[in-house]
A and B are shown apart, each in its own frame.
Chain A
Amino acid sequence: MSFLSHLISGISLGSIYAIIALGYTMVYGIAKMLNFAHGDVIMVGAYACFFMVSRYEIPAVVGVLSAVVICTLLGIIIERLAYKPLRSATSLAVLITAIGISYFLQNAAQLLWTSNPKVFNSLMGDGSVKLFDGRLSISVTAIVTIVVCVIIMLALTWFTGRTKMGKAMRACSEDKGAAQLMGINVNFTISMTFAIGSALAAIAGVLLCSAYPILTPTTGSMPGIKAFTAAVFGGIGSIPGALLGGVLLGIIEIFGKAYISTQLSDAIVFVVLIVVLLVKPTGLLGKQVQEKV
């Protein structure tokens, strides 16, 4: 029974990683850059929702929606101010800018909201579902997290596969120049990608803080790094890869703690990552792209 309950905690933690990883993987796939500020957008989303719901007592649904709107705008603004001017710069310059934005967001949050931790009360309540005569209890938060993750994954698959915008995104990720020649507005497509990634970050922030309700300006940074790992693990650029990587990472982390050692749980996660990358350098579902000469 404890195996099952560990498995569920792992999947639930992994679902949060997967939603965050989607943001990394989409932006990488289309703009070919690592947006390290993504984790901090999560933090902003969580704060937005916290202030709406706990301070001003706005209904939870409205709180989440406005967090999504705020993060979407933030994502678009960051892209416009920090990344767009560097579109033709080297990828290293963009990477450093992203790290700079990450620090900027963390310090701005510290200035605005102080670094005193705040307790984020779960929007889903603290109830749990009991199975097998109460021997297995699953928290409602965990169930909602997993369901939301599945819905987001299905919606994104449909979006990238069936809609005009989604097709434009795939075109941009294959070849920006050719896409532009075919009449696709590349800049707008990239902005859209940031908007979607940031909206997902807001949802991830709310789910993360519902499951682990301590909110500080650095709340997003460690899950952000773990989710980036998940994105690489699953094959960066691949949407199903982000899901697979995230969920596997969550399960490995929890099982590592439960059955091997609580001291080594993070080390185990990264050892598995290294092994996978040695065997399959593009990640589990990554595509092997032949460089054309």
Chain B
Amino acid sequence: MKKFLLFLLTAAMLLAMTACNGDSSTGATATPAAGGQTSAGGSIKIGGTGPLTGGAAIYGQAARNGAQIAVDEINALGGIQFELQYQDDEHDAEKAVNAYNTLKDWGMQISLGSVTSTPCVATSVENNADRIFALTPSASAVAVTEGKNNVFQMCFADPNQGTASAQYINDQKLGTKIAVIYKNDDVYSSGIYETFSSKAAELGLDVVSTTTFTEDSQQDFSVQLADAKNNGADLIFLPMYYTPASLIFQQAKSMDYSPKYFGVDGMDGILTLEGFNAELAEGVMLLTPFNADSTDTRTVNFVAKYNDAFSEVPNQFAADGYDCIYAIYAAVKAGNITSAMSASEMCEILVKQFTTTSFNGLTGDNVTWGANGQVSKSPKGMIIENGAYVGMD
């Protein structure tokens, strides 16, 4: 019996070790893919952390893939050469700081921060202390940029999403009576809700029902939906990630309630949920800066390349990653940055460039940044039709 136990323990340990190897090799494979074609000597090293495995992996992988496509395009042009490395942070602040340190040891000169908010709040502190310039593709919390003059965001900050959603619902007259369901123990969800609700009051939108849920009670939404239904809401605003949203759609359907739904960028990705019945999301609207169906040539080109390489349609995180690299490229060119400069020298030039110039990307035209690091660009409304995202305007 003892021997058998010993054997089991050894087996478990071996399993754990191979598992760790598996993880680190996925992180490491990004390196040769990134720098494989170029000689490392003359290239500028760009590093980022993101959830490449785990529950938020959809976001991390998309941002990394998008950035990789941009790096490959730029390197193919000749001239300035980039080398990209992404490290896995599993959407965990502590692991993100470790991943950041790995990148620093590697010689990272410019940082893409972290993909998701919680880890990015931690790594942006390091970026600021080390004077390494950071441009995060998608970490939207205010705390990411607050008080750090060298950390910038490519995505909307949370408060802007709330304000923009209220504005959009009002301008497009999407609903007369509005219900809101938000997650009150989550900084992302409640941050958007607060600005949405104050903007809605200012615009005179009729919010008839406001209900909440928490991490521990995100299974049963019958009460929240009944409240919205009994108050006659014809549109429900859902500032949350897509996992609880998918439960809301399903439960609303089973109670024969079919309002319109309006989501924010966390809703992006719902169609990739394994086993999800796309019919439930039919007609769901969301505000996102990127529209994969746009006929704009750069977007068409990007979507085709992404589809070839990863056999899926890129979401906005991929486009944000792509835009980050191009924004950095533009600033590097304009500021005459060379790979021989130190990270802190680059940082000062990049900060100056980012706060003074504007940028045209997939996720918006005439994108500008304030000194606080927050981006200013106009969101696009999207609607899910026949299981695909379609632009609304």
Chain A contact residues, CB within 8 Å of chain B:
2, 5-6, 9, 13, 50, 54, 81, 110-111, 114-121, 126, 128, 134, 137, 139, 141, 211-214, 216, 222-223, 253-254, 257-258, 262-263, 265-266
> Once the chains are docked, how many angstroms separate the CA of A54 from the CA of B220?
23
Tell me if A262 and B55 are in contact (CB < 8 A): no
The smallest beta-carbon distance between A106 and chain B, in angstroms, is: 12
Annotate B55-78 by CB proximity to A: 1 below 8 A, 0 otherwise: 101100000000000000000000
Q: List chain B residues, Cβ under 8 A from A263.
A: 184, 212
Annotate B258-273 by CB proximity to A: 1 below 8 A, 0 otherwise: 0000000000000001
Kindly state whether residue B38 has any CB partner on chain A within 8 Å.
no
Q: List chain A residues, Cβ under 8 A from B226.
A: 2, 5-6, 258
Tell me if B274 and A119 are in contact (CB < 8 A): yes
Q: List chain A residues, Cβ under 8 A from B273.
A: 117-119
Tell me if B57 and A116 are in contact (CB < 8 A): yes
> Once the chains are docked, how many angstroms separate the CA of A258 from the CA of B54?
34
Q: List chain B residues, Cβ under 8 A from A213.
A: 246-247, 250
Tell me if A114 and B57 are in contact (CB < 8 A): yes
Kindly state whether residue B230 has any CB partner on chain A within 8 Å.
yes
Please judge, given known A-B contacts A119-B274, A119-B277, whether A262 and B220 are in contact too, CB under 8 Å: no
Tell me if B55 and A121 are in contact (CB < 8 A): no
Annotate B40-63 by CB proximity to A: 1 below 8 A, 0 otherwise: 000000000000011101100000
In residues 213-258 of chain B, which contact A (Cβ within 8 Å)?
A: 213-214, 216-217, 219-220, 222-224, 226-227, 230, 243-244, 246-247, 250, 253-256
Contact for B223 among A54, A211, A216, A262, CB less than 8 A: A262
The smallest beta-carbon distance between B9 and chain A, in angstroms, is: 10
> Once the chains are docked, how many angstroms separate the CA of A2 from the CA of B223?
9
Contact for B275 among A5, A119, A212, CB less than 8 A: A119
Interface residue total, chain B, C-beta cutoff 8 A: 38
The smallest beta-carbon distance between A69 and chain B, in angstroms, is: 22
Contact for B222 among A6, A115, A126, CB less than 8 A: A6
Tell me if A214 and B246 are in contact (CB < 8 A): yes
In the complex, what residue of chain A is closest to B210 when comparing beta carbons? A262
Chain B contact residues, CB within 8 Å of chain A:
5, 8, 15, 19, 53-55, 57-58, 184, 211-214, 216-217, 219-220, 222-224, 226-227, 230, 243-244, 246-247, 250, 253-256, 273-277
Q: List chain B residues, Cβ under 8 A from A114.
A: 53-54, 57
Tell me if B212 and A115 are in contact (CB < 8 A): no
The smallest beta-carbon distance between B213 and chain A, in angstroms, is: 7
In the complex, what residue of chain A is closest to B213 when comparing beta carbons? A262
Tell me if A254 and B222 are in contact (CB < 8 A): yes
> Once the chains are docked, how many angstroms separate the CA of A126 from the CA of B244?
18
> Once the chains are docked, how many angstroms separate the CA of A196 from the CA of B220?
28
> Once the chains are docked, how many angstroms separate the CA of A123 from the CA of B129?
54
The smallest beta-carbon distance between A247 and chain B, in angstroms, is: 15
In the complex, what residue of chain B is closest to A142 when comparing beta carbons? B254
Q: List chain A residues, Cβ under 8 A from B212.
A: 262-263
Please judge, given known A-B contacts A81-B5, A81-B8, A111-B19, whether A137 and B275 are in contact too, CB under 8 Å: no
Q: List chain B residues, Cβ under 8 A from A13.
A: 220
Interface residue SS majority, chain B: helix
> Once the chains are docked, how many angstroms separate the CA of A13 from the CA of B226?
16
> Once the chains are docked, how many angstroms separate the CA of A110 from the CA of B22?
13
Please judge, given known A-B contacts A81-B5, A214-B246, whether A117 and B55 are in contact too, CB under 8 Å: yes
Tell me if A266 and B275 are in contact (CB < 8 A): no
Tell me if B217 and A128 are in contact (CB < 8 A): no
In the complex, what residue of chain B is closest to A225 when comparing beta carbons? B216
Contact for B274 among A118, A253, A257, CB less than 8 A: A118
Q: List chain A residues, Cβ under 8 A from B250.
A: 126, 213
Contact for A212 among B19, B184, B247, CB less than 8 A: B247
Q: List chain B residues, Cβ under 8 A from A139.
A: 254-255
Please judge, given known A-B contacts A118-B274, A120-B275, whether A254 and B223 are in contact too, CB under 8 Å: yes
Contact for B216 among A120, A257, A266, CB less than 8 A: A266
Q: List chain B residues, Cβ under 8 A from A54.
A: 275
The contact sample of 20 A-B pairs, CB cut-off 8 A, is A2-B230, A5-B226, A6-B226, A81-B5, A111-B19, A115-B55, A119-B275, A120-B275, A126-B250, A128-B255, A137-B255, A139-B255, A212-B220, A212-B247, A214-B219, A223-B219, A257-B217, A258-B227, A262-B211, A265-B217
Tell me if B275 and A118 are in contact (CB < 8 A): yes
> Once the chains are docked, how many angstroms separate the CA of A122 from the CA of B212?
25
Tell me if B223 and A117 are in contact (CB < 8 A): no
In the complex, what residue of chain A is closest to B243 when comparing beta carbons? A117
The smallest beta-carbon distance between A222 and chain B, in angstroms, is: 5
Tell me if A257 and B223 are in contact (CB < 8 A): yes
In the complex, what residue of chain A is closest to B12 when comparing beta carbons? A104
> Once the chains are docked, how many angstroms separate the CA of A203 from the CA of B4?
31
The smallest beta-carbon distance between B3 and chain A, in angstroms, is: 13
Tell me if A115 and B223 are in contact (CB < 8 A): no
Tell me if A126 and B224 are in contact (CB < 8 A): no
Tell me if B220 and A254 are in contact (CB < 8 A): yes
Tell me if B216 and A222 are in contact (CB < 8 A): yes
> Once the chains are docked, how many angstroms separate the CA of A265 from the CA of B211?
11
> Once the chains are docked, how many angstroms separate the CA of A211 from the CA of B222?
11
Contact for B55 among A116, A223, A258, CB less than 8 A: A116
> Once the chains are docked, how many angstroms separate the CA of A116 from the CA of B54?
6
Q: List chain B residues, Cβ under 8 A from A141.
A: 254
The smallest beta-carbon distance between B270 and chain A, in angstroms, is: 10
The smallest beta-carbon distance between A78 and chain B, in angstroms, is: 12
Q: List chain A residues, Cβ under 8 A from B275.
A: 50, 54, 118-121
The smallest beta-carbon distance between B286 and chain A, in angstroms, is: 18
Q: List chain B residues, Cβ under 8 A from A6.
A: 222-223, 226
Q: List chain B residues, Cβ under 8 A from A211.
A: 219-220
Closest 10 pairs between A and B when the two form their complex, measured CB to CB: A119-B275, A212-B219, A115-B55, A257-B223, A262-B211, A119-B276, A9-B222, A258-B223, A139-B254, A118-B274
Q: Which of B58, B226, B227 has the most CB of A within 10 A?
A: B226
In the complex, what residue of chain B is closest to A134 when comparing beta carbons? B256
In the complex, what residue of chain A is closest to B253 when comparing beta carbons? A126
